[in-house]
């Protein structure tokens, strides 16, 4: 199930006159489309994206 943020994003794309592909807008636990990076927002959910695990160096 998609999060509220994903739903709002898809709705904004539609409001702009485009048609989002639902398979490209799954939730963070959807493994249907692999991604290259494992990242998440910082603890307050409003901060910057934090790479998990943190790169060495």
What digits encode the pLDDT tens for the residues 4-57? 888 888 899 999 999 988 888 777 677 777 766 665 555 666 666 666 666 676
**pLDDT number for residue 57:** 64
pLDDT the model gives residue 19:
93
Do the bridges between strand 49-51 and strand 39-41 make them parallel or antiparallel, or are there none, so unpaired? antiparallel
Letter string b/e over residues 21-45, b meaning 16 or more CB atoms within 10 A of that residue's CB: eeeebeeeeeeeeeeeeeeeeeeee
> With 50 as the cut, is the pLDDT of residue 1 above it?
no
pLDDT at 2: 53
> Could you identify the residue written with the tokens 């603890």?
43
Largest CA distance in the chain: 44
Predicted TM-score (pTM) above 0.85: no
């Amino acid at each position: 199930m998609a999060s509220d943020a994903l739903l709002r994003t898809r709705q904004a794309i539609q409001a702009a006159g485009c048609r989002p592909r639902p398979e490209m807008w799954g939730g963070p636990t959807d493994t249907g489309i692999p991604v290259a990076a494992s990242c998440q927002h910082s603890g307050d959910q409003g901060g910057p994206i934090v790479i998990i695990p943190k790169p060495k160096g």
